[in-house]
Structure formats: structure tokens, C-alpha cells
Amino acid sequence: MLQGGIAAAKAGDKVLARSLLLRAVEHDSSNEIGWLWLASLADNPPEAIEYLRRVLAINPRNDQARPSLNKVLLRHGIALAKEGDKSQARALLLEASSLNPGNELVWLWLASVAEKPTDAVTWLQKTLEINPNNQQAISWLKRLRSQNGAAKPPNPSWQCPFCAVISQGKLFACPGCRAVLTLTDLNAAIENRQADRDILARAIKHYQNLVESNEEFSAHYYLGLAYLNLNQLSEAIPCLQKASQLRPDAEILKAHLAALEQRQKAMREASNRGQRRPSPLKTVLVVDDSATVRKLVQVILERCGHQVLTASGMMEALTKLEETDPDLVLLDICMPRIDGYQLCKIIKGATRDVPVVMLSGKDGFFDKVRGRMAGAVGYITKPFEPAALIRAVETYCNQNSLR
Amino acid sequence: MKGLKESIRLARARRLAVSNRKALPPSKVHWDNELEDKLIFLVSTLEQLMIKWLEKSSEERASGTLQLLAEMVNRTLDLAEKLPPPGARAYFLTHALDHAGQSYPLVRALPANGYHLSIETTAGAANSMMEWLVKSRSSLRQVCQGLVLALEFCFALFERFFYLPETRDRWKTIYQILILELKQVVVVLV
């Protein structure tokens, strides 16, 4: 497997090579060459670091792994430092410095992520021991000594706090995740429909963990901003309030926060006056021969508070229609014994004017026309997204109640 | 009477859900909702794949069962890849095949490229194995049952990503129904 993996790697088939090499090291975890080849095929720096560490744990004198690990640690450490993940960057850069203490760059970057000014001074001095003419270290050390505090090196680029896309300077909205990155236009943030919800959800998780472990202004601020982009005002406000408490001198933030609170208050009042009354709960009958579809529809609609009745065929459907008074019938087209069009006609003929919506994997024009001709008011195509199903159910139920 | 009981059950479930949700930070509730939506769409898609396969002729069905199940596993792995940490797809695949391999050892022989099952009917590395499987019905059935088990294992892994017990339970009931349907179909047709 090892030889096969190496051959595949040389042939450029990365996926096959990784698969074979992973099996080889799984079989023999002390296989130094296997780990080294895996490191060369790694998809990301943390993975490469992990594999190279394994090589050095097996053979600390491996002269291929040592410089490679040093290089990856340095690069990834610098990347993390730029992202603002100081503690992780520091750990990686310290490991890199132990592998190659003669590299001035590693000490300079370590200084930039130092926890205390004294550490920064020590690491800048190390830089100057290696290269006494390093102008950046000289000027920074001078500044540190004069200010007697930690100064940060200038960072020319700016990184999105949600998706880490780099840009030259802070932007109004991120070109990567499309999140609005400022509070200057509250409407743009709250009504942002273009932001990548997955990225924002991940960012929220990340900043949630950060605020649990330490009280950092930026973590609370970005958490609030992420919530705003998801239109979750009630979650955003407490985060921004916390950020404002941590930085009481941030007057602009205070002003934006006041505007947000006012907006929330207005929304609550409107809601109390009944202007935003939620739609009343509905009873929906789902007729489908597939138990999976019945369960899916049931879960989706019950989650919104609607009551769901299910039937797997014609007889059961007609019995349920007699026993109950559903607001809507969701009817599958392809069923054994009788198809959905025929059953729709029977339902329409036998009962009061209950709206029927066809539910089908067929989305052709003629299928929809046949559904209409049978008396269906709408058509939902399978596979369906929960939001689309909920929207359709509420639309058709409301249409019926307006008649 | 039945309707009343159903209403009481729903009201209880709703009250419990509300109290559970209040105990969790909103971000975690949001995460659960998003993941559940994605999984529902996935199951709906897999169900449609199954239905379209059932509409085929019996000859096409016999040879295509393996591809269908592999496609289902691969689509599930695609969703796994969107979950943190990176590389979840490879983790899901390796462990699912290992798990299924314990009951159906032939599953281990399926061509997997580390991220996907690569079962093709066209000429290629997997061709001879496919031909052999199609000829040997008992082996084909074993591999198909193994793949259903692998799929079930992947679904079960998703459970770990939910924070709310009620969402986890709901997801369990959903995928168990699909798996049951798939098992019945494999037993009858392969």
C-alpha cells in the first residue's frame, strides 16, 4: 500500500495516494515514510503539521521533515497572526523557533503576537542578535522602550472577521461572505439577504467560544455583527451592549446601539398592537405512499406549530377527511392503485372546498397543468427545502381563508 | 378523542422544545435549525433518487442498485464535508465503511478514493469488480446491505452535531424511516 501510495503521488493522483498512504500508516503507525508522503499531500497546514510531527516523533533526526515542519509552522503561524489568533500563532511560532532558532523572521513575528511587552522586547532582541541591521526590529524596539508598552507592528492588509478573506483596508461588505462589516448602515446589515449564512453560523460559533473564554471587545462586537447580518436583532443587541461596556469610550458604537434598541422597541410595540400577528396554526393532511416523505412533511410543519395528519393511500385519506377538517391537503401524485390526480378529483367531489396542493418529483409543465385540471391549487416539487414547503403551506392556507 | 390526544402531545412537545431552546444560546439553536433543514433536504433528495430508481425496469434496477446506494452515500458525504472540522467527509467514509465491513466484509473492497465511493459502470479499475458483483447475486446483496448500513452509520454520525436532544431525536426518527424503506427495497429487488 505504501509503494502504491507513493506511485500514485508521483503520478499526480493525490486522492488515491492519500487513501493508500492513510491505510498504510493505519496498518503501521511507525511508518516514517508514509507520514512524510502524507505530509507532502496534505490539504491544509494543520494537517501537514500533524503528519510532520508524527515523522519527527518516530525519527527526530529526519532531515526532510525538520525543515519542512519549520517552514509550515512559520507560514501558518504568520497567517494566524494576521488573522488575529494570537495564542495559536504564538504556539506555532515558538515551535518553529525551537526547530530553527537562527531564523530572524520567526522572532520578529513572535514579537508581534507577544502577550506581554517584556516578551516582545526579548524576542525583538533575539531578532537583532541574528541580524543587528533589521530596521523594523530596531524601530519597534525603540518605540516599545519609549512607550513602555506593547506596540503592534503595522498590518497593511485587513481580514474579514467572518470568512478571513483578505482585502486592502476595511470594506463596507466582505466580497467573500457578503456580510456587512460595519454598523454605519444598520438597515443594510439587518436586511442583508446576500450574506453566506453557513459562514456566519460558523463565525457565530467561533465567537461564542471566544466570549466564553475571554472578555474581548472584538469577539463581542463581531458576534453582534454576525447576528445582525442574520437579522437576529434580539441576539445582536446584548453582544453589542457587552462590547460597548468593554470599550466605554466607543461613542459611535453607543450611538448605533441606541438606534438598534429603538428599532427593537418599535418592533415589539408593533407586534403587541397585532401588526405582526403570526399566522394561526393550521391542520394539514399529507397523503403520500412514502413513509419518509410523510415523516419529513410532518417534522417540518410540526416544527412551525401546525398540526399534521398523514395518510398512505386513498382510503385512509378519505377517512381522515371525513373525521377531521384539514385546512390543506398535500397530495402525492405517484401512488399505487390510484394516482394523485384521480384522488384529487375524488376529494374535491366528496368534501367541502379544501385546497389541495400536489406534491411530486415530476416538475414538467403538463404535470402541473394536469394537477390544476384535477382541482389542485398549487404544486410543490420534491425534493423540497423546509422553508419552501412552509411558505407554500402558509400561502395556500391563507389564500383559502381569504375566500 | 384521538385528535385531542394528538393536540395534547403536540402542546407538550412544544412546551418541552421551548424550555430546551431557552436553555441554549441562540447561536446553538440556530445551528441546530440550519443543520436539520439541510438534513431534511438531503433525505428528501435521497428519497427522490430511490423513487426514480424504482421507476426503472427490473433489469436496469438490478445493475444500478449499487450505483444508487453509492450515490446516496456520496451525497451524504458531501453534506458532511460542510461540517466542522475540515475533512469530515473522509472521516465519515472511513468509519462508515469500517462499521459496515464488520457485518458485510465485501464492502471494504469497494473502490473508495478517500472522499467518495467511485463506482462506475464504464471501463475502469472498478469494472471487473462490478461485473463480478452483478453476476454473483449474493455478493451484490451483501455489498448493497453493507452500503445501507454505511449510510445509516453516516446518518447516526450527524446526530452528534446537534445540541438539542429533541432535534437529535427527530433526526433519528427521520433517517430510520428512510433506512427502513431502503432495506426493504434492497431485500426485495437485489
Domains by residue range for chain A, with CATH: 2-62 (1.25.40.10), 71-147 (1.25.40.10), 171-272 (1.25.40.10), 283-402 (3.40.50.2300)
**Grid cell digits, residue A63:** 532531515
Confidence of residue A135 (pLDDT cuts 50, 70, 90): confident
Q: Which of A44, A201, A296 sits opposite B44 (nearest CB)?
A: A296
> Which residue in the block uniquely carries the three cell numbers 471494504?
B108
Highest mean pLDDT among A153-167, A182-196, A322-336: A322-336
* d(C-alpha A36, C-alpha A270), whole Å: 64
C-alpha closest to that of A20 among A44, A1, A33, A48: A1
Q: Quick one: pLDDT at residue B114?
A: 66
**What is the ipTM, given to two decimal places?**
0.82
Least-confidence region, from A178-187, A303-312, B82-91, B126-135: B126-135
Check: CB of residue B31 under 8 Å from CB of residue B163.
Answer: yes
C-alpha to C-alpha distance for A299 and A16, rounded to whole angstroms:
40
A204 — pLDDT class (breaks 50, 70, 90):
confident
B23 domain residue, yes or no: no
Q: Which residue is closest to A21 within chain B, CA to CA?
A: B114
Residue B15 has pLDDT above 60, yes or no: no
Q: Determine, yes or no, domain membership for B8.
A: no
The model's confidence at residue A278, banded by pLDDT at 50, 70 and 90, is very low
Return the residue in B32, B44, B116, B162 with the most chain A beta carbons within 10 A, the one to mutate for interface testing.
B44
Specify if B10 maps to a domain.
no
All three cell numbers of A364, joined, read 414538467
B101-137 confidence digits (pLDDT tens): 999 988 888 877 767 887 765 444 445 666 666 667 7
Contact A111, A126 (CB under 8 A): no
Tell me how far CA of residue B86 lies from CA of A112, A176, B91, in angstroms.
28, 19, 10
Q: Collect all residues of chain A within an 8 Å Cβ-Cβ radius of residue B87.
A: 43, 47
**A367 vs B31, which has greater pLDDT?**
B31
pLDDT for the residue B18: 55
Residue A276 pLDDT class (50, 70, 90 cuts): very low
Question: Does B71 map to a domain?
Answer: yes
- Please report whether residue B163 resides in a domain: yes
Residues of chain A with pLDDT > 90, as a percent, come to 6
Lowest-confidence region among A254-263, A337-346, B116-125, B170-179: B116-125
* B30/A204 touch (CB, cutoff 8 Å), yes or no: yes
Of A122-131, A275-284, A360-369, A386-395, the range with the highest mean pLDDT is A386-395
Total structural domains within chain B: 1
Q: List, in sequence order, every beta strand (DSSP E) within A67-167.
A: 158-159, 166-167
* Size of the A and B interface in Cβ pairs below 8 Å: 99
Let me know if residue B14 belongs to a domain.
Answer: no
B26 part of contact set with chain A, CB < 8 Å: yes
Average pLDDT, chain A: 79
Per-residue pLDDT tens digits for B145-187: 999 999 999 999 999 889 888 899 999 999 999 999 998 888 7
Residue B35 lies in domain: 30-189
Does residue B1 belong to any structural domain of this protein? Answer: no
Please check whether residue A19 touches B, CB under 8 A. yes
Going by C-beta distance under 8 Å and a sequence separation of 6 or more, which residues neighbour residue A361? A334, A381, A382, A383, B48, B51, B52
Q: What integer pLDDT is reported at residue A108 of this predicted model?
A: 85
What percent of the residues of chain B are helix, what percent strand, and what percent coil, each to the nearest 5?
80, 0, 20
Mean predicted lDDT score pLDDT of chain B: 80
In contact, A165 and A148? CB cutoff 8 Å? no
Residue-by-residue DSSP string for B84-132:
SSTTHHHHHHHHHHHHHHHH-GGGGGS-B-SSSB---SSSSTTHHHHHH
pLDDT at A298: 92
Given CB atoms, is B122 within the 8 Å cutoff of chain A?
no
- Closest residue by Cα to residue A241 from A261, A226, A227: A261
Query: Within an 8 Å CB–CB cutoff, is residue B52 touching chain A?
Result: yes
The answer, for B176 touching chain A at a CB cutoff of 8 Å, is no
- Which of residues 40 through 79 in chain A touch B, CB cutoff 8 A? 43-44, 47
Task: Give the Cα separation of A368 and B177 in Å (integer).
Answer: 29
Which residues does chain A have within 8 Å of residue B7's beta carbon, measured at their own beta carbons?
307
Q: B173 at the A interface (CB within 8 A)?
A: yes
C-alpha cell at B3: 385528535
Tell whether B82 lies on the interface with A, counting CB pairs under 8 A: yes
More confident residue, A138 or B121: A138
- Chain A, 152-211: which have a CB under 8 Å from a chain B CB? 197-198, 201-202, 204-205, 208
Using a CB-CB cut-off of 8 Å, the residues of chain B touching A302 are 10, 13
The DSSP bridge partners found for residue A167 are A158
Shortest CA distance from B179: residue in chain A: A292
Do the domain assignments include residue B134? Answer: yes
Contact B7 A307 (CB under 8 A): yes
pLDDT tens-digit series, residues B76-96: 998 988 887 677 788 888 889
- Residue to substitute from B20, B31, B40, interface A, most A β-carbons within 10 A: B40
Dist. CA B17–CA B15, nearest whole Å: 5
A384–chain B nearest CA distance, Å: 6
